[in-house]
Structure formats: C-alpha cells, structure tokens
Amino acid sequence: MDSLQHGGLFATESFVPVDLRSLGDCDVAMCDLYRFTSQHGYVLFLSKHAEFADHLRDQLIMAKARRLYIRAEEASEYSHYMTDRVRRFADAPDADSKERAEVAYQAVHFLVDRLLDAPTPESYEQLVEGVTATVYMALQDPTVAYALLAHTRQGSYMYSHTVNVGVYGTALALQLNQDDDWLNSVAVGLFVHDIGKTKIPAEVLAWPGPFSAAHWALMKQHPGLGLVILNGLGQHDPIVRSIVVQHHERNDGSGYPKGLMGPKISYEAKICAMADTFDALTSKRSYRDTATTFQALDTMIKEMGDEFDREMLASFVKLFRRESRQE
C-alpha cells in the first residue's frame, strides 16, 4: 500500500527507527512500517503482513531512504524478527560471513538501543536471545567474528560504544574459550556492560570536553548502578554481573570503583576492559584525536600494558592481524 495516499501521524505516538538493510530479505511486513516526512510526520508505508513488493523497495531506493519506523508498541515483535533472522542466516548454507555479520550487527544494535532506551525484563531477555543467536552463528562460522569487527561504526557514542565493545569482546572471547554457555554469558555481559549509564544524567554523558572532578564522581557510579538495574530486572548471572561492576577495574589497581588488582578482577571483566579501552581510543571525541587501530593497540601495549592481562592482550592484538588478512 502506497503510504503517500495516507494521512500522517505526528508525535502523538512513539516511533522506533529500523534499518532498511534489515528488511532486504523480508517478504512481508512483520509490523506496520512508516516513513517520516517533514510535511506529514509519520506516514504508513506498508501495513503489517502486507507483501513487501519489489516496486516498494524501488521506491525506497529512489528516495534514498535509510530507515523506516515502527510504533514503539511493536518493538517486541520486531525484536523477535531480528533474532529469528540471525538464526536463519546462521544456518543458511549460501550466506557468506560478511552477510551473516551484517545481519548479526543490525540485530544486536537494535536490541541494545532498545534495552538502553527502556531497561525492562522484556528488553533484557530479548537482547539475551539476540546475543545467544549471534554466538551460535559465530560458532557455526568462525570467520563471522572477524567479519563483525569490520561492522563496528560510530554514531551516538553511548549506544555505538556499547555495541562495539560487545563485538570486540565477543570476538576475543571466541578465541579464548569455545564453551557455548560461557560465551553466551560473556557476550551478554559485554553488550550490557554500560547499562548503569542509563541512570547517569544525560548532560554528563553528552559533555563535549574532558570531565571535571564532579563529572568523574558521577560517571564512576555507573558500574554500581548497573548492578542495581540488573537486580531490578531479576538478572543474577555471576559472569554478567562481574562484567557490569568490574569492567573499569585494571590489573595494576588503577581502575574503579574498588581499585581491584590482578586475580581479584574476574577473567570476563578483563575481556571487557580491553574491548572498552580499545573502542574508547578509536572513537571520535571532540576533545582529542581519534587513534587508528595500530595507534590504539600500540598505546595499549606500550603505555597501558600493566593495566591488562598480558596474554589476553596478545590474543586481542591477533584479532586485528587476522582481520587485516580477511580483507
């Protein structure tokens, strides 16, 4: 159904953006799909269960559209669609690692965004399902982990950083241990490691320059706040909890919130600390230059080496050597 013949809906309802690439192999609409226009607001593009015909895809391509929208109340259905899509591509014999990685990245990005927007038991469990499907995909096709590294991208710092850390850390975890239950717990912990930041004032998270002492005092509360949120969600996986509360601890005792050292920090939190640091160094910030992959790894080895498990750091570096050979 051509949306341009229908009246628009303005912001009386809440809408959620969905990446058009996630609809590339969709035969029918899993939810009502909307386009946004400056004149008419949100306009129905395709009704739920209607055929996603080629002429509609052509219309979107001609309009250079990058996203459609769904009503927030249907985000749960879309979440299930995204997870099922990951499972389908994991088992699709004709899909290559780049296709699988793109599908997995779209899914976890949507699910992480949804969780950070509204940390509820439902959004948490749906993220767990999506992450578990992604780990299954990576175990089925080990090259997916390396292909995923190429999909890390910059956007809203908090959301993109969370997903990037999940990707980097999961790729490292896959090199360290192939136990699927352990991998699932680690991957979930990585993708929710910063959930406590949802309780930090938005003006602090969006602060454009270096933090003041007052800013740091607030920011250093987010690991503990993350545990509070997990408690409220009824989530007690010890691996997930250790990642959330310890991902800023450092091997040499220089981290926070408790200044733990060496063996007092969980192995899984050390994975997250490494991925977290690497993404922070390679992310664009207004107050410092962005490091290249080589520069970031060089800094971590030469200037920050005491902060990390040395053997784990060596494995992390090898990820990017392997990725460069994949290209």
For the residues of 223-286, what is the DSSP string, one character each?
HHHHHHHHHHHT---HHHHHHHHHTT--TBS--SSS--BGGGS-HHHHHHHHHHHHHHHHS-BT
Question: In whole angstroms, what is the distance from residue 68 CA to residue 30 CA?
Answer: 13
- Residue-range domain boundaries for the chain: 1-74, 92-326
Task: Give the per-residue pLDDT at 172.
Answer: 97
Phi-psi region of 100 (alpha: psi -120 to 50; beta: other; left: phi over 0): alpha
pLDDT tens sequence across 209-255: 788 899 899 999 999 999 999 999 999 999 999 999 999 999 999 99
Quick one: pLDDT at residue 300? 95
At 7 the pLDDT is 41
Residue 27 and residue 50: Cα distance in Å, rounded?
A: 9
Q: How far is CA 142 from the centre of its chain?
A: 19
What pLDDT sits at residue 219? Answer: 92
For residue 176, give the H/E element and its range.
Answer: helix 157-176
Residue 286: predicted pLDDT? 58
**10-residue averages of pLDDT along the chain (327 residues):** 38 82 89 92 94 91 91 95 96 93 94 93 97 96 91 68 94 94 98 95 83 90 97 96 98 96 97 96 75 93 94 94 58
Decide if domain 92-326 falls under CATH 1.10.1740.10: no
pTM of the model: 0.89
36 DSSP β-pair partners: 42
pLDDT of residue 158: 67
Q: How many CA atoms lie within 13 A of 189 on its CB side?
A: 31
Q: Residue 37: what pLDDT? A: 87
Beta 41-46 vs 33-37: how paired, if at all? antiparallel
